[in-house]
Chains A and B, each alone.
Chain A
Amino acid sequence: MVTSSQGIPDAPVPAPPAATVVAVVTVVAGVDPAATVAAVSRQAHSPASISLVGAADAAEAPGVVQSADLESVVSDLDPSVDYVWILHGDAEPRPDALGALVAEAERFEASLAGSKLLVAGTPDTLESVGSATDVFGEPYSGLEEGEVDLEQYDVVRDVAFVSSVSMLVRRDLLRGLGGIDAALAPVAAGLDLSQRVRVAGGRVIVVPSSEVFHQRRCGRGDGGWREQSSRLRAMLKAYRAVTLAWVIPFAFIVGFLDSLGSLLLGRWRLAPRYLVSWLWNLWRLPSTVAARRRLNRVRQVGDEELFRYQTRGSVRLRQVGSELSDRLLALFDEESVLARRATEAWWSAGAWGLVAALAVVLVGVRAVFLSGLGAVGYSLPFGDRPLESLAWFLTGWSPAGLGGPGAVHPSVLPAAALQLLVLGHGEVARSLITLGAFTAGVVGTGRLAVRLRAGGGGAHFGGVVALFGFPAALLAGEGRWAGLVGLGILPWAILGVVGHAPGSRRRWWGVLARQFSVVALLACFSPYLVVVPLLVALVLRGRFPTRPGMAALATAGGLVALPFLIERAPIALGGIPVAATTHPGAVVLVTAAGLLAMLSGAWRVGAVGSAAALGGLALAPMVGPDLGEALLAASALGTGMVAAAALRSRPQRRPLDWLAILAGAALVVVSVAGLAGGRGGMPADAWERSLDFVSISPLPGERVMLVAPEPRQLPGESHRGPGFWYRLLDGRGATLDQTYLGPTTDRELDAAVAAVASADSVRPGERLAPFGIRWLVLVGDDSDGLGTALEAQTDLTALPLAAGMTVYENNAFLPRIDEPPSRHRPDPLAATAAAAWAVAVVGGLGTWLWARRGP
């Protein structure tokens, strides 16, 4: 009985083939190669010689040749040598390992064969049985950590690459390819050689019957910067130029997304690692180019042969996405609904309620992802230039109206950030935000209801009522998209301040950081809502565990909206209010549901919800549009909480309880009307296609002036004109960053518009030309407004460009290009807001994730 140093009985030794093999042991720093050399010496298929590479000061052993590097060994080999067995100095092959490699390589006519690697110190833990990669060279073994070898992979097969820990390679090919790239890390070196062998027409296989124990002292290839850099170099060497033309940009994007995702998971090192790996490759670019040239001389097949053994997509992104989704599911898991085992979950009323509510959301916003939101009211497309929008925000330059110093609505920040993430697709970003807000709103309201002891199957239907009920419908009816998104975030902001104090200081910081981030996000969309969590924490104090101190601190997240709030302070209580005309029946229903919910036991939730619902409705028309929008959002959430309280689970049901449930159900049924259009209650597109004639090929510095008898017929905000309402848009058409106008108007433009309206000249185009107005669009029936004045004019040409509108082209048009924003220094207020946003995104989420990982 022969036993190896691992104490495992050896397998029967096959008859040695005739092929001549030279073994090359590469020394691993800090590991004595003696055991490896001994194991090689014991091979049934004895190598003709054993070379030790990279061990200048190693003690000489009988039959072992010391060499400086692999290249010199290969170049000195006798042509009679068929194969070179490359083995790491921390590996210990079974005695039949080489024989199996040679036998299978001969049988399959493979140029490169790798061994099955087992973790040294364990009897049967798998490390590698050959690997696939993605197109970026990221290895994908398919093995789980600690997976036991049950011979489940024991079949000789072609693989993308084999580890350089133990590989048998044809001597002539190895020489032709220039050997192993010494600049590469161990795993990547195997990948590199495998790819080059395959490109040269060779076959790469893994031979599971060749077993090698590996101490993994040479590195495990788990993503250190050397491995990452080496993989990139291997990719740059192997692919044809045409493949690199698309792989390199995608590699950048993957690196960015991977870094971002990892940041959310609390791993900050990845981004610097990506950066270093690109810099390293930039530094090594000359040698990489030389290596590409060498490989091209022996290239036999195209990149398709490499693709055959690669997995689809990005391994890294899949891993990050998987981890993120696990964390997110945990967020929604207030009742452990999603995390429970399936059988248990589907017996839960909450689970069914959640699924049904999410189905309602999908129906209610179906048009968002089927045909887009369009442009209507305050719901406008993001535009094509997110970076420009961000720059405007930072420099305090508002493109609205004539353009000039002013605050941009903070919703531009997350909108542009997401748009960048989705490669500039504004409509995709907008749909994602909308869908996410509605989903988050429904789920968050349900979760808030649970936390306020109004849980049960109807809790998430409270979310449906909040997002689609009649206060929300009032917001949606005006197309107040930002307000609706704010409504979706609001329950999460309240959730952060309702609950017991965190168990540790680390946790406390984590919760504060998360709350700060949520409040900042909330402020981006509906700035006045940032005070709601604090108010709720104070109101519920005593009856529910709340965190008013934390709520007060997190309100600082509202700094994101500081420039906007300051600029619009003059119209906080004035301006054109939101349309808050409610149907008396709906008011009666909410009041009745609130009272019944209170009488049936949900006193505090019913009272607070009713007060928010009814108070918001009462006050919204009395204040300015921004505050009114926030009040309606609070009213919507209050209505949702009333519904949840009315529908909540009860141990016993009295007649009064049944009445409450009936009222809650009626609220849900009434809210379903909001699903009709599939746009979350928002009207159909009014402007996106109508203004195509402007946005398709705008001239530099051109603007369009829109005129209507009523302000709500125009996109976003409008100015009060003489007998009509009007606003300007730039050549991009209606975009989010132009939605909100400054509280003051341009006096010269006002004067020109008044002059045009008074019909004091037959050349109104000349009056409007200094403002860059190329197009004048009259909306709706304007027979008594500007349309009358424009009947007798000579320098505007009426064109049939948009249905339902009268479009004039200004023959006297002069481009007006104002000072570009890039020439402005960052505005201090805007910079403060941007800094708050950055802190919220990076610091807040990072700290929160850091805290979650700790005790």
Chain B
Amino acid sequence: MKPLALVVVALLGVAVLLLPAPPAPEPGEAPPAASPPFVVCPLLETARRVSGVEIQADAPVDVTATFFSAGETLAEASVALEPGSTTLEVAELTAAARAPLLLDRGSDHLVAGSWLAQRGVAVARCDSGSRGVVVTAGGSTREGDTYTLLLTNPFGGVAVVDVTATSEIGVETESSLEGIVVPPRSLVTVELTRLLAGRQALSAIVTPSQGRVVAGAVHEGSGDVSATAGLEPSPDWWLPVPALDTDVFLVLVAPTAVETPFQLDVYDNEGVFEAAYEEVIPARGQHVVPVEELVSGEGAVRVVAAGPVVAVLWSVGEGVRAVVPGVPSVATSWWLPGAGAVGPARILVFNPDTVEVTVRVRSGGAEVAAAEVAASSLSVFDVEGDDLRLEADGEVAVTWLSVGDEGIAGDAGWAR
């Protein structure tokens, strides 16, 4: 028995040594990242312009519209949306000079776009912001122009962001742009004109270090105004190019800390030119290319970069300030919130495929235009009305413009 006891004890010791360590207790599976249940429209104002929001929904949905400022809720309204389009006039809901709006949509059955009118026109999508970096591209602080960055925090916690401005002189070193605190339910405006005057082309990279903000920018000058939401970087962009009487630039911004090589594939009347333009964007820098050097007439540009970048078309001229973002991917179904709100809409549909696609445009559920879009070509649909949506039987890239006496406004479509 004694030898057996010795063996048993020794074996037990060996067993304890050899037994694998118990796995650490794991929590349940984290839920998949749902689309944010809200959108924020940071650009709304009532002081100098009229502004509003067009909400498009494809199912009955109750939303709560909350205007906030300086830590307070200025106004709150529950809106029962029916399928279709609903427009909120900001002045009817609040008298605040700047009145960012939180739309608690509860589901992803709706999209919204905001618009500004009087002394220029501008449109920009209402957005959910991002936990990561966003970029506002296509601004200027040249003489006579103002460029204002809007940082909104409609949420309950404090947000802190670092802003990196980049211009033709490279990355700007402005210490006051670091560690900007955006209190809960507040809007912080950063007057880049005052901080960085005289920049011909200026973009801003917004990097949150705590909390979450929804960023946007407003560029005023020469009697027009442009607005853009903060754009999430992507290595791939599609930019339908319209024929305009003003100077149009392709602005590329790389928010990363390394140089980012890219190439431009050009589609125009003369055919497809892959890698028609190749260059490198400096780290946290921007690159501006006149579109007329790339595209003959109408067409499209595809940006293929080695890293995440943001690409917009920036139109600057006499009485014109406009930014039209590209779209990072193609799709068959597009919503165009805000299109038609400031005038007739010129819808730019680019078919990157090698086969023809059929495109149908609807307004308020009724088809208002339909056409075949040839392979690798751009079609333009001039339509009026609100609740504009587009369906295609192939994947297309869609942006839109509104060209009027007060200026030009435009935005990218919202892929569904």
A interface with B by C-beta (< 8 Å)? 576-577, 579-582, 584, 587-588, 590-591, 594-595, 598-599, 603, 606-607, 610-611, 614-615, 617-618, 621-622, 709-711, 720-725, 754, 757-763, 784-785, 788, 790-798, 808, 811
CA A577 to CA B25, docked complex, whole Å: 8
Q: Would you give the shortest CB distance from B13 to chain A, in whole angstroms?
A: 3
Contact B156 A794 (CB under 8 A): yes
- New A-B pairs, 8, CB < 8 Å, besides A591-B9, A591-B16, A784-B30: A582-B16, A610-B13, A614-B15, A722-B29, A793-B155, A794-B104, A796-B156, A798-B157
Contact A794 B5 (CB under 8 A): no
The reply to whether the CB of B235 lies closer than 8 angstroms to some CB of chain A is no
Given A603-B5, A754-B31, A794-B102, do A808 and B13 touch, yes or no (CB 8 Å)?
Answer: no
Contact B9 A611 (CB under 8 A): yes
Contact A808 B29 (CB under 8 A): no
CA A408 to CA B19, docked complex, whole Å: 34
Contact B13 A587 (CB under 8 A): yes
Q: Would you give the shortest CB distance from A424 to chain B, in whole angstroms?
A: 37
Q: Would you give the shortest CB distance from A769 to chain B, in whole angstroms?
A: 14
7 contacts between A and B (CB under 8 A): A594-B13, A614-B13, A709-B27, A759-B37, A761-B104, A762-B155, A790-B157
Contact B16 A758 (CB under 8 A): no
Instruction: Please give, as numbers and ranges, the residues of chain B lying within 8 Å of A581 by CB-CB distance.
Output: 21-22
CA A710 to CA B27, docked complex, whole Å: 8
Instruction: Please give, as numbers and ranges, the residues of chain B lying within 8 Å of A615 by CB-CB distance.
Output: 12
Contact A618 B19 (CB under 8 A): yes
Instruction: Please give, as numbers and ranges, the residues of chain A lying within 8 Å of B154 by CB-CB distance.
Output: 762, 794
Of the candidates A582, A607, A760, the one whose C-beta lies within 8 Å of that of B5 is A607
* A-B complex: 6 closest residue pairs judged by Cβ atoms: A591-B13, A723-B30, A621-B22, A758-B31, A614-B12, A798-B157
1/0 per position for B220-257, CB-CB distance to A under 8 A? 00000000000000000000000000000000000000
Contact A792 B38 (CB under 8 A): yes
The reply to whether the CB of B177 lies closer than 8 angstroms to some CB of chain A is no
CA A720 to CA B25, docked complex, whole Å: 9
CA A720 to CA B30, docked complex, whole Å: 11
CA A225 to CA B31, docked complex, whole Å: 72
CA A584 to CA B36, docked complex, whole Å: 49
Given A710-B25, A722-B29, A795-B156, do A788 and B17 touch, yes or no (CB 8 Å)?
Answer: no
Contact B31 A723 (CB under 8 A): yes
Contact B34 A759 (CB under 8 A): yes
Contact A598 B9 (CB under 8 A): yes
Q: Would you give the shortest CB distance from B356 to chain A, in whole angstroms?
A: 40
CA A381 to CA B37, docked complex, whole Å: 41
B interface with A by C-beta (< 8 Å)? 2, 5-6, 8-10, 12-13, 15-17, 19, 21-22, 24-25, 27-34, 36-38, 66, 102, 104, 106, 128-129, 131, 154-158, 184-185, 211-212
Given A591-B9, A598-B5, do A723 and B28 touch, yes or no (CB 8 Å)?
Answer: yes
Contact B131 A791 (CB under 8 A): yes
Q: Would you give the shortest CB distance from A745 to chain B, in whole angstroms?
A: 11
CA A710 to CA B156, docked complex, whole Å: 25
Contact B12 A584 (CB under 8 A): no
Given A588-B17, A591-B9, do A797 and B27 touch, yes or no (CB 8 Å)?
Answer: no
Q: Which B residue's beta carbon lies closest to that of A723? A: B30
CA A796 to CA B211, docked complex, whole Å: 13
Contact A757 B30 (CB under 8 A): yes
Instruction: Please give, as numbers and ranges, the residues of chain B lying within 8 Å of A791 by CB-CB distance.
Output: 131, 155, 157, 211-212
Contact B30 A785 (CB under 8 A): yes
CA A603 to CA B9, docked complex, whole Å: 11
CA A433 to CA B66, docked complex, whole Å: 56
Given A580-B22, A621-B22, A722-B29, do A794 and B9 touch, yes or no (CB 8 Å)?
Answer: no
Contact A611 B8 (CB under 8 A): yes
Instruction: Please give, as numbers and ranges, the residues of chain B lying within 8 Å of A710 by CB-CB distance.
Output: 24-25
Q: Which B residue's beta carbon lies closest to that of A615? A: B12
Dominant SS among interface residues on chain B: loop
CA A576 to CA B10, docked complex, whole Å: 29
Q: Would you give the shortest CB distance from B17 to chain A, in whole angstroms?
A: 5
In this complex, which of A760, A784, A791, A796 has the most chain B Cβ atoms within 10 angstroms of its Cβ?
Answer: A791
Q: Would you give the shortest CB distance from B302 to chain A, in whole angstroms?
A: 32
Q: Which A residue's beta carbon lies closest to that of B33? A: A759
In this complex, which of A611, A794, A797 has the most chain B Cβ atoms within 10 angstroms of its Cβ?
Answer: A794
Dominant SS among interface residues on chain A: mixed
Instruction: Please give, as numbers and ranges, the residues of chain B lying within 8 Å of A577 by CB-CB distance.
Output: 22, 25
Contact B25 A762 (CB under 8 A): no
Contact A721 B184 (CB under 8 A): no
Of the candidates A595, A721, A788, A811, the one whose C-beta lies within 8 Å of that of B131 is A788
Of the candidates A618, A721, A790, the one whose C-beta lies within 8 Å of that of B27 is A721
CA A792 to CA B128, docked complex, whole Å: 9
Q: Would you give the shortest CB distance from B72 to chain A, in whole angstroms?
A: 12
Q: Which A residue's beta carbon lies closest to that of B25? A: A576
Contact A792 B155 (CB under 8 A): yes
CA A798 to CA B106, docked complex, whole Å: 23
Contact B9 A584 (CB under 8 A): no
Contact B34 A587 (CB under 8 A): no
Of the candidates B21, B28, B155, B211, the one whose C-beta lies within 8 Å of that of A794 is B155
Given A721-B27, A790-B157, A794-B154, do A761 and B13 touch, yes or no (CB 8 Å)?
Answer: no
Instruction: Please give, as numbers and ranges, the residues of chain B lying within 8 Å of A579 by CB-CB distance.
Output: 22
Of the candidates A591, A722, A785, A790, the one whose C-beta lies within 8 Å of that of B10 is A591
Instruction: Please give, as numbers and ranges, the residues of chain B lying within 8 Å of A595 by CB-CB distance.
Output: 6, 9-10
Instruction: Please give, as numbers and ranges, the residues of chain A lying within 8 Å of B5 by CB-CB distance.
Output: 598, 603, 607
CA A722 to CA B31, docked complex, whole Å: 6
Q: Would you give the shortest CB distance from B6 to chain A, in whole angstroms?
A: 6
Instruction: Please give, as numbers and ranges, the residues of chain B lying within 8 Å of A762 by CB-CB distance.
Output: 37-38, 102, 104, 154-155
CA A610 to CA B13, docked complex, whole Å: 9
Instruction: Please give, as numbers and ranges, the residues of chain B lying within 8 Å of A798 by CB-CB distance.
Output: 156-158, 184
Contact A610 B9 (CB under 8 A): yes
Q: Which B residue's beta carbon lies closest to that of A790? A: B157
Q: Would you give the shortest CB distance from B34 to chain A, in whole angstroms?
A: 5
CA A606 to CA B156, docked complex, whole Å: 62
Instruction: Please give, as numbers and ranges, the residues of chain B lying within 8 Å of A760 by CB-CB distance.
Output: 34, 37, 106
Instruction: Please give, as numbers and ranges, the residues of chain A lying within 8 Å of B38 by CB-CB distance.
Output: 762, 792
Q: Would you give the shortest CB distance from B1 to chain A, in whole angstroms?
A: 8
Instruction: Please give, as numbers and ranges, the residues of chain A lying within 8 Å of B9 by CB-CB distance.
Output: 591, 594-595, 598, 606-607, 610-611, 614
Contact A722 B28 (CB under 8 A): yes
CA A632 to CA B32, docked complex, whole Å: 39
CA A581 to CA B5, docked complex, whole Å: 25
CA A828 to CA B6, docked complex, whole Å: 48
Q: Would you give the shortest CB distance from B69 to chain A, in whole angstroms?
A: 14
CA A793 to CA B9, docked complex, whole Å: 58
CA A721 to CA B5, docked complex, whole Å: 46
Instruction: Please give, as numbers and ranges, the residues of chain B lying within 8 Å of A808 by CB-CB distance.
Output: 156-157
Q: Would you give the shortest CB distance from A588 to chain B, in whole angstroms?
A: 7
Instruction: Please give, as numbers and ranges, the residues of chain A lying within 8 Å of B21 by CB-CB distance.
Output: 581, 621
Contact B106 A761 (CB under 8 A): yes
CA A722 to CA B32, docked complex, whole Å: 10
Q: Which B residue's beta carbon lies closest to that of A608? A: B5
CA A598 to CA B155, docked complex, whole Å: 68
Of the candidates A598, A617, A720, A759, the one whose C-beta lies within 8 Å of that of B16 is A617
Q: Which A residue's beta carbon lies closest to that of B7? A: A595
Q: Would you give the shortest CB distance from A601 to chain B, in whole angstroms?
A: 11
Contact A610 B12 (CB under 8 A): yes
Instruction: Please give, as numbers and ranges, the residues of chain B lying within 8 Å of A594 by CB-CB distance.
Output: 9, 13
CA A811 to CA B157, docked complex, whole Å: 12
Of the candidates A709, A724, A792, the one whose C-beta lies within 8 Å of that of B212 is A792
Contact A794 B12 (CB under 8 A): no
Contact B25 A591 (CB under 8 A): no
Instruction: Please give, as numbers and ranges, the residues of chain A lying within 8 Å of B211 by CB-CB distance.
Output: 791
CA A759 to CA B212, docked complex, whole Å: 13
Q: Which A residue's beta carbon lies closest to that of B158? A: A798
Instruction: Please give, as numbers and ranges, the residues of chain B lying within 8 Å of A588 by CB-CB distance.
Output: 13, 17
Contact A603 B30 (CB under 8 A): no
CA A794 to CA B159, docked complex, whole Å: 13
CA A798 to CA B156, docked complex, whole Å: 7
Q: Which A residue's beta carbon lies closest to that of B5? A: A607
